[in-house]
A = this chain, B = another copy of it.
Amino acid sequence: MDFSIGELARRTKVKVPTIRYYEQIGLLLPPPRTEGQQRRYDKNAIARLAFIKHARELGFDIEAIRALLSLQDNPDQSCSVADRIAKARLAEVEERIVSLNALRAELRRMVEECASGRVAECRVIETLADSSHGHGRLAET
């Protein structure tokens, strides 16, 4: 009925050190231990960790997830906070898509216009050297 951290890792596809990290920063409650100090989890832990994992996949940061978890733990509250967090994340994603589309356009122009010759006439290098236009902030990845 209860199982080790490695088993939890296998079932959730979250790595063992990551699980310990989540415990350390307070996203997961410290589970009971065996006499030899090894952690033992139950299925509630699976659900909570799956929640965290899904939230991370959607790009919520740890503080947002902390807030979302504490809402989940108090189901009688208004969900307006959760909605606000999700909307904020949506706005971030949309902004990011806009800026990545601009990057894509510029990168495409660079690679398409290059005649694959010497560096001296390479469009890639030329475009980079041309600082005459502006981007918003730095591209994150």
Tell me whether A118 and B83 are in contact in the complex, defined as CB-CB below 8 angstroms, given that A107-B89, A141-B92 are known contacts.
no
Cβ-defined contact, A79 with B119, below 8 A:
yes
Cβ-defined contact, A90 with B114, below 8 A:
no
Partner of A118 from B51, B53, B56, B76 at Cβ < 8 Å: B76
Interface size on A, residues (CB 8 A): 62
Cβ-defined contact, A93 with B107, below 8 A:
yes
Ordered by A's residue number, 18 sampled pairs between the chains whose C-beta atoms are within 8 Å are: A54-B128, A54-B129, A54-B131, A54-B135, A58-B135, A59-B103, A59-B138, A68-B124, A71-B119, A72-B119, A75-B118, A75-B119, A78-B119, A86-B107, A86-B114, A89-B107, A93-B103, A141-B141
Cβ-defined contact, A139 with B59, below 8 A:
yes
Partner of A107 from B78, B90, B120, B128 at Cβ < 8 Å: B90
Tell me whether A107 and B50 are in contact in the complex, defined as CB-CB below 8 angstroms, given that A71-B125, A79-B122 are known contacts.
no
